[in-house]
Amino acid sequence: MDIQDIQSIKQKFRIIGNNPHLNRAIEIAVQVAGTDLTVLINGESGTGKDVIPQIIHQNSSRKHKNYFAINCGAIPEGTIDSELFGHEKGSFTGAIDTRKGYFEVADGGTIFLDEVGELPLATQARLLRVLENGEFIKVGSSKVQKTDVRIVAATNLNIPLAIEKGKFREDLYYRLNTVPIRIPALRERKEDIKLLFRKFAADFAEKYHMPAVQLTPESVVMMENYRWDGNIRQLKNITEQISIIEEERIITPDILKNYLPNNNITSLPTLYKGGKDDDPLSERDILYKVLFDMKNDIMELRRTVKELSAQRNNGNIQHLPETSNITPINATVISPAEEEEDAFVYVQDDDINTPVSKVTCDAELPTDKTVETTASLSLVQTEKDLICKALERHRGKRKDAAKELGISERTLYRKINEYKINL
């Protein structure tokens, strides 16, 4: 594809810029337009990702069919399935009539799924079935329907990171990413910033019936060195502000700096401190894990007490050495006479060297049933919840879940059967 064809596409879809990465994105879009391959467009918010699906649709054999652009992040989670796949009458509260979804209406055409990374996991599973078999089921229906739809998706998320967090299906990602197209950020297109500003200034001058604003050479440099986190959308908004507010039509750096937020921020690399969403485990999950570890410690103590009880029955227990690497921890045991007594349970600690006297054996040592009841009843539900969360986070992969929980895969398998957890 030569440069003249690319320029023709730019004029048709009002694309401004000569950046090589932008030209390459347009070239790929035109090349895949004649196929039915799924395309995933990646780029920051405000870079103009919505133009690429239009190029693909208009240059395909589907151009005379329907084209739908759907913002997946703007549709509530409770209604997204109904919007995409339709629903039957009475399938949920408010479903007063049967409704066709986008995949049914767009049969033979193209659907652009913007912000596809915001789709719920259940909807992702439905979308995967459409991509693989061209089949979908309406909400509240049991009838499988066919559809012939070309899907183009876009996202500004780091999908591999979302996969690690369990927020996006890995199999769906590979299915969508058949043909990847990346739209460069505005800071990667410094040579296009002046052109875009000039175009926006001319448009707003015509819209508001005033002379167009112009940048001094120093202001151009200032614009090119700015980070532009909001990309083209931010540039357009700032151009509109300047066009309306400023009486001077020649924009100097002194004027421009009033419209560039956080102007002291440079593009130098900095240490990123992840927020709450970047943590692999939430506070609740961490608490669950601590309780889970406590449960394991208690069960280990139970086995220790059982061994001591067996040795006592054999007449082998007298007392512990007066000096050892064992430290006492207060615990509560219940004697057969329903009397509560303070006893000591001894655990090994290599870092503590505390002299002790002897084990108190006056009270009858607890049975397995007693310790199991006191140790497990309060933590069994927490253990089950933690296992379920770990399995959900790793999409049912027992090996990864067991590694996170700090137990063997065999132990996890036994726990799954014990708690009757459905994978």
Last residue within a domain, chosen from 166, 182, 198: 182
Are residues 12 and 138 located together in one domain of the fold? yes
The pLDDT value recorded for residue 316 is: 53
Out of 94-103, 165-174, 285-294, least confident range: 285-294
Length of the chain: 423
Taking the C-alpha atoms of residue 91 and residue 232, their distance in angstroms, rounded to an integer, is 42
pLDDT-derived band at 125 (thresholds 50, 70, 90) equals: very high
Are residues 154 and 301 located together in one domain of the fold? no
Report the mean per-residue pLDDT for the chain: 82
Is residue 265 a part of any domain in this protein? no
Overall average pLDDT of the 76-103 stretch: 91
Taking the C-alpha atoms of residue 117 and residue 124, their distance in angstroms, rounded to an integer, is 9
Of all residues in the chain, the percent with pLDDT exceeding 70 is 78
Overall average pLDDT of the 226-255 stretch: 95
Q: Report the CATH number at residue 235.
A: 1.10.8.60
Overall average pLDDT of the 269-285 stretch: 50
The pLDDT value recorded for residue 182 is: 96
pTM value > 0.75: no
Are residues 299 and 403 located together in one domain of the fold? yes
Are residues 310 and 221 located together in one domain of the fold? no
Is residue 273 a part of any domain in this protein? no
Taking the C-alpha atoms of residue 408 and residue 134, their distance in angstroms, rounded to an integer, is 40
- Please give the tally of structural domains in the chain: 3
The pLDDT value recorded for residue 347 is: 37
Per mean pLDDT, which of 255-259, 277-281, 408-412 is the most reliable?
Answer: 255-259
Q: Where are the alpha helices (DSSP H) in 59-216?
A: 80-85, 102-105, 121-133, 159-164, 170-176, 190-208
Is residue 327 a part of any domain in this protein? yes
Are residues 128 and 163 located together in one domain of the fold? yes
Is residue 137 a part of any domain in this protein? yes
Are residues 148 and 192 located together in one domain of the fold? no
Overall average pLDDT of the 345-368 stretch: 41
Overall average pLDDT of the 290-298 stretch: 76
Are residues 104 and 211 located together in one domain of the fold? no
Distances (CA, A) of 188 to 138, 264, 270: 43, 19, 18
Are residues 305 and 391 located together in one domain of the fold? yes
Q: 213: which residues sit within 8 A by CB, 6+ positions away?
A: 201, 205, 239, 242, 243, 246, 249, 250, 251
Are residues 110 and 200 located together in one domain of the fold? no
Is residue 402 a part of any domain in this protein? yes
Taking the C-alpha atoms of residue 224 and residue 242, their distance in angstroms, rounded to an integer, is 17
Are residues 244 and 309 located together in one domain of the fold? no
User: Token pair for residue 289?
Assistant: 């894990």
Is residue 267 a part of any domain in this protein? no
Is residue 275 a part of any domain in this protein? no
User: Token pair for residue 397?
Assistant: 């992969």
Are residues 219 and 287 located together in one domain of the fold? no
Last residue within a domain, chosen from 143, 163, 182: 182
Alpha-carbon torsion (74, 76, 79, 84), positive or negative: positive
Is residue 37 a part of any domain in this protein? yes
Last residue within a domain, chosen from 182, 202, 235: 182
The pLDDT value recorded for residue 150 is: 96
Q: Report the CATH number at residue 24.
A: 3.40.50.300
**Contact call for residues 140 and 91 (beta carbons, < 8 A):** yes
Q: Give residue 327's domain range.
A: 283-419
Instruction: Report helix angle 3-13 to 51-58, nearest 10.
Output: 110
Are residues 317 and 392 located together in one domain of the fold? yes
